[in-house]
């Protein structure tokens, strides 16, 4: 018998008064033996309408730089040929990979506490790749033991139209234009970027950091700053301190995280909750922080931590938090986070965004 191999149950040899006890012990050993031989079943996929659905593009989940270069320079036929030739080689993890692993860690805890509940994270691979590339994606997912059962491979067409059908709560992609399309459709979305250096993140607690204005909240306050300056902004926030801000594009995702957090709180696990959220904002606490916190309160939401930086760089604080993902509407904050080793995601919403050109130059679509 190999080390670690389950021991085959032995027949009971007693014939006296203890025979029944011995027989029961043998049956228990037999059950353990055959349970260990049986293949481990993966959990059942939840119905999309019951779950918190996270749609991730293939280039967000995996590194596909070489494949994207071939697609751009040599075209789709050579791209598909290359993928078929390498379909038994798993992709390397991409920027969304640690986030997805953290989602699965939360799901394991939820299923331990609520075995019959479908209120868990459901991860969908959403890509405009050709279906032939699906084998390599499936092989990669199995290689890393990820639980991703739902695929949407659109063969060159935009996957955006399918996001609502999947009841998507958050869409992450490496394609900025696809993310803009999703935002325009009212779907929480962000363009995800790899950090400049690798930083170890928690394996047991999902950490998500949000900017405030134009991410959780509308861009109302940023419009005041842009049009009238900081002094007028401070006056405006003071005058409207008790008026909640309108919601921003990721308010619904924070709401979904809060709903799952409460499932742990109801079991007395607030301090051991495997989800932790952060508000990381350039606002200053004294002059404009109260309105942000009161807005969250009016929505019945909260973040575990609130960091008001009063214009200071966000990167050093994020380096201490080590979130699995940080959402911001301004690219210079995204770049600052990247430099400090944080996986950052750009939310293209609000007045801070560069206006789109009316007649964009033609370019090859990306193989997501």
Q: How confident is the model at residue 364 (pLDDT cuts 50, 70, 90)?
A: very low
Is 34's pLDDT higher than 70? no
pLDDT digits (tens, 9 = 90+) for 47-101: 888 899 999 999 999 999 998 899 899 988 998 899 999 999 999 999 999 999 9
CA distances from 106 to 2, 15, 52, 109, 114 (A): 34, 50, 12, 5, 12
Active site residue 184: no
Set 35, 65, 184, 211: catalytic member: 211
Distance of CA 104 to the CA centre of its chain: 10
Contact 307, 328 (CB under 8 A): no
pLDDT digits (tens, 9 = 90+) for 117-131: 999 999 999 988 888
The pLDDT value recorded for residue 5 is: 47
Is 355's pLDDT higher than 80? no
The pLDDT value recorded for residue 125 is: 96
CA distances from 178 to 55, 62, 159, 251, 354 (A): 12, 17, 8, 20, 16
The 10 Å CB-count burial string (b at 16+, else e) for 165-180 is ebbbbbbbbbbebbbb
Rounded to two decimals, the pTM is 0.84
Is 204's pLDDT higher than 50? yes
pLDDT digits (tens, 9 = 90+) for 133-172: 889 999 999 999 999 999 998 887 888 889 999 999 999 9
Question: Among 153, 42, 155, which Cα is nearest to 104's?
Answer: 42
Q: What is the DSSP string of 179-213?
A: HHHHHHTT--EEEEE--SS-----SS-EEEEE-TB
Residue found under tokens 């950052």:
344
């Amino acid at each position: 018998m190999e080390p670690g191999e389950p021991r085959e149950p032995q027949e009971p040899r007693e014939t006296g008064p203890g025979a029944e006890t011995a027989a029961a012990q043998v049956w228990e050993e037999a059950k353990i033996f055959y349970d260990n031989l049986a293949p481990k079943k993966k959990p059942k996929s939840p119905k999309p309408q019951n779950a918190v659905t996270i749609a991730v593009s293939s280039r967000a989940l995996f590194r596909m730089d070489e494949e994207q270069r071939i697609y751009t320079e040599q075209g789709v036929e050579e791209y598909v040929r290359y993928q078929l030739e390498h379909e038994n080689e798993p992709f390397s993890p991409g920027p969304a990979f640690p986030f997805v692993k953290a989602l699965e860690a939360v799901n394991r805890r939820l299923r331990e506490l609520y075995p019959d509940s479908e209120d868990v994270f459901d991860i969908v691979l959403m890509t405009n790749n050709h279906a032939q590339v699906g084998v390599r994606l499936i092989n990669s997912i199995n290689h890393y033991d990820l639980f991703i059962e739902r695929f949407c491979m659109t063969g060159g067409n935009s996957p955006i139209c399918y996001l609502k059908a999947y009841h998507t709560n958050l869409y992450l992609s490496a394609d900025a234009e696809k993310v803009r399309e999703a935002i325009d459709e009212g779907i929480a979305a962000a363009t995800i970027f790899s950090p400049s250096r690798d930083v170890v993140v928690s394996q047991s607690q999902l950490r998500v950091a949000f900017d405030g204005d134009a991410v959780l909240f509308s861009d109302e306050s940023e419009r005041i700053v842009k049009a009238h300056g900081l002094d007028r902004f401070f006056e405006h926030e003071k005058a409207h301190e008790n008026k909640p801000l309108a919601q921003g594009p990721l308010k619904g995702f924070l709401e979904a995280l809060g709903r799952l957090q409460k499932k742990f709180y109801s079991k007395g696990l607030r301090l051991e909750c495997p989800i932790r959220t952060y508000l990381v904002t350039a606002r200053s606490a004294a002059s404009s922080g109260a309105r942000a916190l009161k807005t969250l309160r009016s929505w019945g939401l909260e973040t575990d931590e609130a960091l008001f930086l009063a214009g200071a760089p966000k990167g050093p604080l994020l380096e201490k938090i080590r979130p699995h993902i940080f959402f911001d509407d301004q690219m210079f904050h995204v770049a600052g986070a990247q430099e400090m080793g944080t996986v950052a995601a750009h939310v293209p919403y609000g007045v801070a965004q560069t206006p789109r050109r009316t007649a964009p130059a033609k370019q090859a679509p990306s193989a997501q």
